[in-house]
Chain A
Amino acid sequence: MTLISYVVIYLALLVFAIAVIARFIMWSRLPMHLRWELYPVAHEASRAHYGGSYFEESEWWTKPREKSMVGELKAMIPEIVFLVALKEHNPKLWVRSFPFHFGLYLAAAWAVLMGIHGFLAAVAPALLAGVIGTLLKYAIVASGAAGMGLAILGAVGLLHRRLSDPELRDFTTPADIFNLLFFIAVFGLTLATFFTVDRAFSKFTFLVHNLVTFKMEALPGSGLESLLPQASLVMLSLLIAYIPLTHMSHFVGKYFAYHAIRWKDDPNLRGGKEEAVIHKLLAQPIDWAAPHIKGDGKKTWVDAATEEVKRSKKT
């Protein structure tokens, strides 16, 4: 593998990491917003199953709140792994989207397993000679082949639906098509490499080992045998870098959609820590121009919300 390929992969992984962290920071730094929860709220321990809340208690502010982390996990894990909301509300899409997403999870597991293999090869090579090494090799083959296969299947299904369903066509942008084709092409290339020149993903494992240990050695062999694994890995890394730069970064956003919005039901109790934050937010200037506000960039939210209101003659 040439030095350039290694550099491209490192840079791509760096872009991925920076983009994901930047998104996390962006979402978490946004100001506190007005409450906008949507039921069911999963951490409502004994009430979540029917969508109840602590507001069902008389004088709820005097009662201890039941907040169940287990309840959240019970909702989150099936949602993340099996996309249960989609299965319930849009089964036609789910049969395409689930294999695609589950394939991505397996492909991610494949990459992680190769990373572990590379790490163990560097620090404890004896371990790889035993059962653990054998299991790891089988797991790499299974997750890689199944993951890419399922993801391609799902992506082709999603693409077909985007292009054939008149309801979706008008809402489809060129990028939507490109994204799915990108997945199909990259995973297709990787799967073709697997079937033609690397049935055990050993060449991929070798390259990943080099990446983990910063060796940057060339892949032994020549022709397609050497070129295909390198090209696949470079393309995979570019795909990884691309995902968080698009709306496909919803794996980050979804966390906030649930934890910062839909399930964010913490009450602002008098004298609590939120009041100081609210005071700061209300002290910000507004410049909404409508006649009933007349914001001028100096008037604050407090000013606007507490000023005497006069009806115009028109009204």
Chain B
Amino acid sequence: MRKLFTPENNWTFLQPLLMSMEHCARCHTCSEACHVYEESGRDPLYRPAYRSEIFRRIYHKYIINGSTFSHGDVDLNWKTVSRLIELAYRCNLCRRCAQTCPIGADNALLAREIRKVASQEMGITSKECHDDGSMLQLTVGSSTGMNALVVKDNLEFIDEDTSEKTGIKVETPWDKEGADILLLHNAGEIMAWPENPGAFAVLLNAAGLSWTLSSDIAAYDGINYGVWYDDVQFARVAILHAQAAKKLKVKKIVIGECGHAHKALTVIADKVLTGDLNIPRESAFTVLHEIVKSGRIKFDKSRNDFPVTLHDPCNVVRLMGIVRPQREIIKAIVPENRYHPMTPEGIHNYCCGGGSGFAIMSGHNFSDWRHHVAGRRKFRQILEAFQGEPMDKDHPKYVCAPCSNCKGQIRDIIKYYEAWEKAGIHYGGLVELMVNAMVDAKPGYIDWEWH
């Protein structure tokens, strides 16, 4: 833990860390902002300030020898440490709590710092994030386990399938040197939601953009799980992404529908990538918005004549400030009276409950906890957004979740609560909705029965 407070080992987050160690007034203003605390029935364990307070007490007592009179007391033993690490993985790192702090303390950051010291010093992490996540990506190429051959093969299949569905010949370009755009998909899309990379290919090709995917290790998978638990793993992946872009001499990297990949490569890696690795990075939402604005693709709103709501991925909205482009796109492709915003939305949204790696974690009773606690608020928001609509399978409704991780979580809660069978609630990304409204494509791109 001492290493966390040295500028050499933790220059990456030392200032924000110290700020939150020094200035929390323990007023619990943040508690009500936390969906996990609220949906747990206000279990004190899940207060944003609880784990932070334990961490702060350990720091003050054992690291800087502060007085217990001022900072409180705690015994340092394995039980405390192990439970603290466990608790750090009961926070979505959505930073909604930080948004409400009157002083500027950030308890979500402390949860991440606890994960970090556990990973970087003790080698204790979530298996899904580390062994089956960033390590797999760094060694094989993707956390999905796909190597370059397999991913190309899958994309070929997706191209064929998309061509058949849309009636538009689709070909995904690979390793095209000198392309304008290197597109980074979350490879989970390729495995679980092939219609998403398929739709991207349709749109980018139809808009006449010069783009490519890379088959280099880690570069065909835009994920960067390090952003949730480990700065070294984070930097390793970010550098591989930038190196692939440099090798292909692209003008910019565009990040597909993956929230944490957005924040990782665009915001956090900003102070890691320098020189010829400092290649401009942009969200797919702004690229897609430009396509819509340009009129290069014609959309027919009436093809999306069903209720649509929009989920805001925290990483894209609260942590990057990309709020309007996705809304402008929806305005252009969904009839006005069919769009039902969630409450609250935008930068004040609630996390889907799958943030910070939860969507890929399932050990022990974690899935149950995710459905019952972490994802419950989002599910309620979805139901509330569709209030007034007939709630049955004959009236399909679409939750637009333009983030792979969020989509995985929403898929799981929809399945768990049987929301398709009982209320006709389906989910998908933004590009699928766009292709569904594309005049030049055959109607019916969204496959309502696919879960």
Report which A residues bind B (CB closer than 8 A).
27, 30-41, 44, 47, 50-61, 83, 85-86, 88-90, 93, 97, 167-168, 170-176, 178, 246-247, 249-250, 253-254, 256-258, 260-262, 265, 267-270, 274-275, 278-279, 281-282, 284-293, 295, 301, 304-306, 309-311, 314-315
Q: Given A58-B289, A59-B280, A173-B68, 14 more contacts at CB 8 Å?
A: A31-B15, A36-B109, A55-B322, A60-B286, A86-B102, A97-B102, A173-B69, A174-B70, A175-B71, A278-B274, A290-B123, A306-B239, A310-B139, A315-B132
Partner among A31, A54, A90 whose Cβ is within 8 Å of the Cβ of B11: A31
Min CB gap B81→A, angstroms: 15
- Complex A-B, nearest 9 residue pairs according to Cβ-Cβ distance, in ascending order: A53-B321, A257-B104, A51-B347, A305-B235, A90-B29, A175-B70, A290-B123, A89-B100, A171-B26
A sample of 28 cross-chain residue pairs with beta-carbon separation below 8 angstroms, ordered by A number, consists of: A30-B14, A30-B18, A31-B11, A34-B271, A50-B347, A51-B348, A52-B322, A53-B322, A56-B286, A58-B282, A89-B100, A90-B27, A90-B29, A174-B69, A247-B22, A253-B104, A257-B105, A262-B104, A268-B270, A268-B271, A268-B274, A278-B272, A286-B8, A290-B120, A304-B235, A305-B236, A309-B236, A311-B139
A36 touches B13 (CB 8 A): yes
A172 touches B26 (CB 8 A): yes
Q: Across the interface, which residues of B come within 8 angstroms of A51, CB to CB?
A: 317-318, 321, 323, 346-348
Partner among A31, A41, A97, A267 whose Cβ is within 8 Å of the Cβ of B270: A267
Most buried by B among A27, A47, A293: A293
Q: Taking CB as reference atom, which chain B residue is nearest A293?
A: B232
B282 touches A305 (CB 8 A): no
Q: Taking CB as reference atom, which chain B residue is nearest A158?
A: B27
Q: Taking CB as reference atom, which chain B residue is nearest A275?
A: B274
Q: Taking CB as reference atom, which chain B residue is nearest A279?
A: B274
Q: Across the interface, which residues of B come within 8 angstroms of A52, CB to CB?
A: 321-324
**Bound: A33/B7 CA distance, A:** 10
Q: Across the interface, which residues of A come within 8 angstroms of B69, CB to CB?
A: 173-175, 178
Partner among A33, A59, A288 whose Cβ is within 8 Å of the Cβ of B16: A33
Q: Across the interface, which residues of A come within 8 angstroms of B206, CB to CB?
A: none
Q: Across the interface, which residues of A come within 8 angstroms of B95, CB to CB?
A: 38
Q: Across the interface, which residues of A come within 8 angstroms of B268, CB to CB?
A: 34-36
Check B233 for interface membership: any CB of A closer than 8 A: yes
Partner among B7, B27, B68, B135 whose Cβ is within 8 Å of the Cβ of A292: B135
A55 touches B274 (CB 8 A): no
A33-B15, A36-B13, A253-B19 are contacts. A247–B274 as well, Cβ < 8 Å?
Answer: no
Partner among A54, A56, A257, A261 whose Cβ is within 8 Å of the Cβ of B323: A56
**Bound: A275/B271 CA distance, A:** 8
B232 touches A288 (CB 8 A): yes
**Bound: A282/B28 CA distance, A:** 37
Task: Tell me the chain B residues, 42-79 only, with Cβ under 8 Å from chain A.
Answer: 44, 49, 53, 67-72
Q: Taking CB as reference atom, which chain A residue is nearest B70?
A: A175
B347 touches A288 (CB 8 A): no
Check B215 for interface membership: any CB of A closer than 8 A: no
Interface residues of B, dominant DSSP: helix
A55 touches B320 (CB 8 A): yes
A39 touches B139 (CB 8 A): no
A311 touches B136 (CB 8 A): yes
**Bound: A253/B290 CA distance, A:** 41
**Bound: A7/B150 CA distance, A:** 79
A35 touches B239 (CB 8 A): no
Partner among A35, A167, A295 whose Cβ is within 8 Å of the Cβ of B267: A35
**Bound: A306/B101 CA distance, A:** 37
Q: Taking CB as reference atom, which chain B residue is nearest A255?
A: B104
Type the 1/0 row for B190-214, where 1 means its CB is closer than 8 Å to any CB of A. Answer: 0000000000000000000000000
B16 touches A36 (CB 8 A): yes
Min CB gap A37→B, angstroms: 7
Check B23 for interface membership: any CB of A closer than 8 A: yes
Min CB gap B356→A, angstroms: 14
B8 touches A284 (CB 8 A): yes
Min CB gap B237→A, angstroms: 9
Check B98 for interface membership: any CB of A closer than 8 A: yes
B120 touches A261 (CB 8 A): no
Q: Across the interface, which residues of B come within 8 angstroms of A268, CB to CB?
A: 270-271, 273-274, 278
Min CB gap A265→B, angstroms: 8
Q: Across the interface, which residues of B come within 8 angstroms of A247, CB to CB?
A: 22-25, 70
Q: Taking CB as reference atom, which chain B residue is nearest A176?
A: B26
Check B169 for interface membership: any CB of A closer than 8 A: no
B283 touches A55 (CB 8 A): yes
Q: Across the interface, which residues of B come within 8 angstroms of A39, CB to CB?
A: 317-321, 323, 347
B138 touches A290 (CB 8 A): no
Type the 1/0 row for B1-40, where 1 means its CB is closer than 8 Å to any CB of A. Answer: 0010001110111111011001111111101110000000
Check B121 for interface membership: any CB of A closer than 8 A: yes
**Bound: A290/B117 CA distance, A:** 9
A86-B29, A171-B53, A256-B19 are contacts. A292–B123 as well, Cβ < 8 Å?
Answer: yes
Check B126 for interface membership: any CB of A closer than 8 A: no
Check B166 for interface membership: any CB of A closer than 8 A: no
Check B252 for interface membership: any CB of A closer than 8 A: yes
**Bound: A88/B32 CA distance, A:** 12
B233 touches A292 (CB 8 A): yes
A56 touches B322 (CB 8 A): yes
Q: Across the interface, which residues of B come within 8 angstroms of A171, CB to CB?
A: 26, 28, 49, 53, 72
Min CB gap A222→B, angstroms: 39
**Bound: A189/B391 CA distance, A:** 66
Q: Across the interface, which residues of A come within 8 angstroms of B287, CB to CB?
A: 58
A37 touches B267 (CB 8 A): yes
B14 touches A31 (CB 8 A): yes
**Bound: A284/B270 CA distance, A:** 18
B282 touches A275 (CB 8 A): no
A89 touches B32 (CB 8 A): yes
Check B341 for interface membership: any CB of A closer than 8 A: no
A33 touches B11 (CB 8 A): yes
A315 touches B319 (CB 8 A): no
Q: Across the interface, which residues of A come within 8 angstroms of B27, CB to CB?
A: 90, 93, 168
A258 touches B104 (CB 8 A): yes
Q: Taking CB as reference atom, which chain A residue is nearest B71?
A: A173
B347 touches A40 (CB 8 A): yes
Q: Across the interface, which residues of B come within 8 angstroms of A285, CB to CB?
A: 8
Q: Across the interface, which residues of A come within 8 angstroms of B278, CB to CB?
A: 268-270, 275
A34 touches B319 (CB 8 A): no
A58-B287, A168-B28 are contacts. A261–B320 as well, Cβ < 8 Å?
Answer: no
Q: Across the interface, which residues of A come within 8 angstroms of B138, CB to CB?
A: 309
Q: Across the interface, which residues of B come within 8 angstroms of A249, CB to CB?
A: 22-23
Q: Taking CB as reference atom, which chain A residue is nearest B12?
A: A34
Q: Across the interface, which residues of B come within 8 angstroms of A33, CB to CB?
A: 11-16, 271
Q: Across the interface, which residues of A come within 8 angstroms of B271, CB to CB?
A: 32-35, 268, 274, 278
**Bound: A287/B14 CA distance, A:** 16
